[in-house]
Structure formats: C-alpha cells, structure tokens
Amino acid sequence: MSLNFLIAPDFAPERFAGWHMLNTVLQKRSGESLHLLTPASAAEQAELIAKGDVAAVYANPFDAASMIRDAGYIAVARPLGKSDEMVMATRADSPLNSIEGLKPGCKIALTDNKDVKLIGLRLLEAADLTEADVQWQLVESYQAAARMTIKGEVDIGFFLAEAYNSLSRLTKTQLKPLMESKLADITHVLLIHPRIGASLDKLRDALLGLAGTADGQPALDELGIEQGFEAMSVEDGEFMIDLMDTLLS
C-alpha cells in the first residue's frame, strides 16, 4: 500500500520538480511506495491531514505544532541551512525606508502562509503595529502580492524569503525590501506518523542519507536544501513547539 507524503503548500513553484525527484529517490532508497500530495492551500492541507491517512508531512513550523501535539506525528528531520525567513517589501519608489514609517491603517498584502504572517506580526511590533492596526489584503500568490505592492494598492507585501528571492528580476527591481528576518532557528520539519510502524525508520534513514550521493544530491539541489537534512530528536520537536508558542502573542 502506498504511503501518502504531503508537502506543505508554501514552497516556491520552481521547487515542484524537486519534490517529485525527492519522492522518487526516497521510494528507491526506502523500498516504500510513496504517493506525493501537494495541496494548493492551508485549508486543503488541513482536510488531508484530518482524513488520517497521511504518513509523512514536510510541514511548516506553525502547523507542525498541532500535527505533533494533536495529531500524533513525530518530528524526525529538518533541512540544514534553510531556515524559514520572510521579507517585507514596498514599491521601489515608496517614501517608506523602514517599517517604523508604517502607521495604523496601513495596507499589507499577504498570502495564507501563517508562518509568514506570524513572523511579520512579531517584527511589526517594533513599529508599534498590531494585527488590528493593519488592513490585510489576502492574495492567492506571492506574485499577486508583488503586483499589488508595485501598483501601490498596498503599503507593503509580506513574502516568504525564498518566494521573494525567486520573483523575476524585473519584479524585484520594482520592489524595495524594508526588512528581512534572520531567525535562523525556525525551519520546516519532516514529520512522520508512528502508525506506519517500521516504515518510519526506513523513510527517515533514506532522507538523512541523501546528501552527497549520486541520486540524492540532485534532488536536494533542486529543492535548495543543498546540505541535506539533519535528524531531530523528540526534544528538538518539542523545543520548536515551545519557540512557536512564544511567537503566538
């Protein structure tokens, strides 16, 4: 029987092929049959998890907390040298030069990526802005957030740093980053559910052994996770949940 492997819906579009490459090499190395799930939204992801037949999840840290504590997943690995960062950017000719120039009532475009919003909200505290002070403009994609920002329909856009960096050169020349997070300690995590029994160890070992190998490294390169994955202990997972908890308010 195939094991479902779900990828959180916040990866940059050009990584899509990389996830399929990873899925293929993990199947080969673990001997397990894997079915890749790439939900298009956080809501679709939640529906799939609620069905109870997702074996492994590459989860963003915000969602990982409830998947571990409420759904029983175990954090087994995280990407090395690839932390979850965000960028706040305004249009290139905006008079804004720092987030301290933002005032209550300002407009911010963002996608439904909860990590980016959470981190952004915490960083906006330095400008004395709370969630209620902002007129949020929810958009479908980072490209749409960039378009709204460039047109001046919003004061700034919130971007996953990787998505911002993958915007076209032309788009980026029309934007001005005001702040880039350097959190370093918050990353996506690979969660596996213990209900799959011995397959858990096979999948984890296959993932941890990819770096530097002829079949594994190309997939890692395609994903922008060049250094591969490192093992996480149960305590590492709990610590990350505690970290996220401190950011929740």
Partner 1 sequence: MVFPPMQPAADATVAREHTYHDGSSRTVMVSEREIAYPQGRLIISRTDLDGIITHANDAFVELSGYAREDLIGQPHAILRHPDMPRAAFKDLWTTVAAGKKWHGYVKNLCKDGSHYWVYATAVPNVRGGKIVGYTSVRRQPSRAKIAEITATYKEWLAKEGSPA
Nearer to partner 1, 128 or 215 (CB): 128
- DSSP code string of 74-122: EEEEEETT----EEEEEETT-S--SGGG--TT-EEEE-S-HHHHHHHHH
Residues 6+ apart with CB under 8 A from 43: 112
Residues 219-238 that bind partner 1 (CB under 8 A): 235, 238
131 contributes a contact to partner 1 by CB under 8 A: no
Min dist. Cβ of residue 122 to partner 1 (A): 5
Pattern 181-220, binding to partner 1, x per CB under 8 A? Answer: xxxxx-----------------------------------
What number of chain residues touch partner 1 (CB under 8 A)?
Answer: 22
Nearer to partner 1 by C-beta: 21 or 178? 178
Question: What are the CA-CA distances from residue 6 to residues 9, 46, 201, 236 (Å)?
Answer: 9, 11, 18, 21
What track of x and - describes contact with partner 1 for positions 44 through 83 (by CB under 8 A)?
A: ----------------------------------------
Residues constituting the chain:
249
What are the residues binding partner 1 (CB under 8 A)? 122-123, 125-128, 179-185, 235, 238-239, 242-243, 245-247, 249
